[in-house]
């Protein structure tokens, strides 16, 4: 009787092992991102993981390495490019190091709002750019989520229009477009390393800086800055990137699941970031003593008008001029169509 029980137990164990083997995933997506597990970005990746594993019936397993465990953003994208991992987190700046035309997404005042930027990235026109990136760089852009616009803060005056930037010493990152942007408005662009920024504002080495609203709150810039202007000059993007060879190794059905999951993950992050930036952070900064100013449509136009030609000239010096003109034309046409739809 005992021997019979042991045989049954052994058989059951073998069956269980067989079931495990049968249910093992056909594909594994190892993914890297640079933010904490408490961030909206991580929650977006978790939605991606849950959807892809469920919708694929277990054919795809997703393993996420958060908080830069696999290195910097650039390091992780390099790993994804060569296939050491399958997916990685990118942004509007770093993507251009892998495919230069992506630098247009970091152009100041290219988009009037977050949704306009999202619509452009998913547009038929830009899908061709994404396909070229996939074929030429080995990295495919699956989805993008806005993490908020960069905005100006300063200690001199309330900046309501481009003319109000005159003479303000504005800290900018070491980016040619950022330098040209501030210069075009009459300000004095001053590169300062991120690590030295707070002290530079505190001591008066610079009068102001530009970053997403949440940065001003998280890093206590309200302690050394009086005024914030919601000019929304540069759209911040977090993207999900995938190794192109791996993506093409999937069946069409699994590729569709991965793309859908990436869009769902991006939508999750975008919704939470948008609420934080537009409601929580602004209200808190005002409560903490900052004067937060939202320009009127007419005032906002002065910022865009001041930098449009200098930005186009710079982009054309770096990229195919026809491509630059096409990007602006596509956005202008989409904007006109949206306006016509409500008139």
pLDDT at position 89: 97
| Closest-CA residue to 75 (of 35, 34, 106) | 34
**What confidence tens digit (pLDDT) does each residue in 130-154 have?**
999 999 999 999 999 999 999 999 9
The secondary structure of residue 222, as a DSSP letter, is G
Instruction: Give the domains, in start order, of the chain with CATH numbers.
Output: 24-342 (3.40.190.170)
Q: Collect all residues with Cβ–Cβ distance below 8 Å to 139 and sequence separation of at least 6.
A: 77, 80, 81, 90, 98, 99, 133, 241, 242, 243, 244
For residues 204 and 122, give the distance between their C-alpha atoms in angstroms, rounded to a whole number. Answer: 42
Kindly tell me the sign of the dihedral angle through the C-alpha atoms of 154, 157, 161, 167.
negative
DSSP state of 281: I
User: What are 172's two structure tokens?
Assistant: 């900018």
Q: DSSP assignment, residue 109?
A: T
Per-residue pLDDT tens digits for 231-256: 999 999 999 999 999 999 999 999 99
Q: How far is CA 273 from CA 91, 236, 250, in A?
A: 15, 11, 31
Top pLDDT among 233 and 21 is at 233
pLDDT digits (tens, 9 = 90+) for 113-136: 999 999 999 999 999 999 999 999
What's the rounded mean pLDDT across residues 296-321? 97
Say what the pLDDT of residue 2 is.
43
Q: Is 162 exposed, middle or buried (0-12, 13-18, 19+ CB in 10 A)?
A: buried
Q: What percent of the chain has pLDDT over 90?
A: 90
d(CA 56, CA 261): 11
């Amino acid at each position: 009787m005992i021997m019979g029980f042991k045989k049954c137990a052994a058989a059951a164990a073998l069956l269980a092992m067989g079931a495990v083997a049968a249910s093992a995933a056909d594909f594994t997506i190892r993914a890297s991102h640079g933010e904490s597990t408490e961030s909206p970005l991580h929650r977006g990746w978790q939605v991606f993981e849950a959807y892809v594993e469920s919708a694929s019936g277990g054919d795809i397993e997703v393993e996420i390495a958060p908080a830069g465990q696999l290195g910097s953003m650039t390091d992780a994208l390099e790993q994804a490019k060569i296939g050491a991992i399958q997916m990685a987190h990118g942004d509007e700046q770093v993507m251009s190091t892998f495919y230069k035309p992506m630098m247009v997404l970091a152009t100041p005042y290219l988009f009037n709002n977050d949704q306009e930027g999202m619509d452009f990235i998913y547009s038929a026109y830009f899908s061709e750019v994404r396909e070229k990136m996939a074929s030429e760089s080995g990295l495919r852009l699956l989805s993008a989520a806005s993490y908020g616009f960069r905005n100006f803060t300063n200690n001199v005056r309330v900046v309501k229009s481009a003319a109000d930037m005159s003479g303000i010493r504005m800290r900018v990152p070491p980016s040619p477009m950022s330098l040209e942007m501030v210069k075009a408005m009459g300000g004095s662009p001053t590169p300062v390393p991120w690590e030295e920024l707070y002290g530079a504002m505190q001591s008066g080495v610079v009068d102001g800086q530009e970053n997403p609203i949440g940065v001003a709150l998280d890093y206590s810039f309200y302690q050394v800055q009086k005024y914030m202007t919601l000019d929304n000059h540069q759209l911040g993007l977090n993207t999900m990137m995938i190794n192109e060879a791996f993506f093409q190794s999937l069946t069409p059905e699994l590729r569709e699941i991965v793309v859908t999951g990436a869009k769902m993950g991006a939508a999750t992050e975008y919704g939470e970031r948008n609420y934080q930036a537009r409601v929580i952070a602004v209200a808190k900064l005002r409560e903490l003593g900052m004067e937060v100013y939202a320009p009127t449509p007419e005032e906002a136009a002065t910022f865009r008008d001041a930098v449009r030609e200098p930005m186009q000239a710079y982009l054309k010096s770096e990229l195919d001029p026809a491509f630059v003109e096409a990007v602006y034309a596509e956005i202008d046409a989409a904007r006109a169509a949206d306006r016509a739809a409500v008139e």
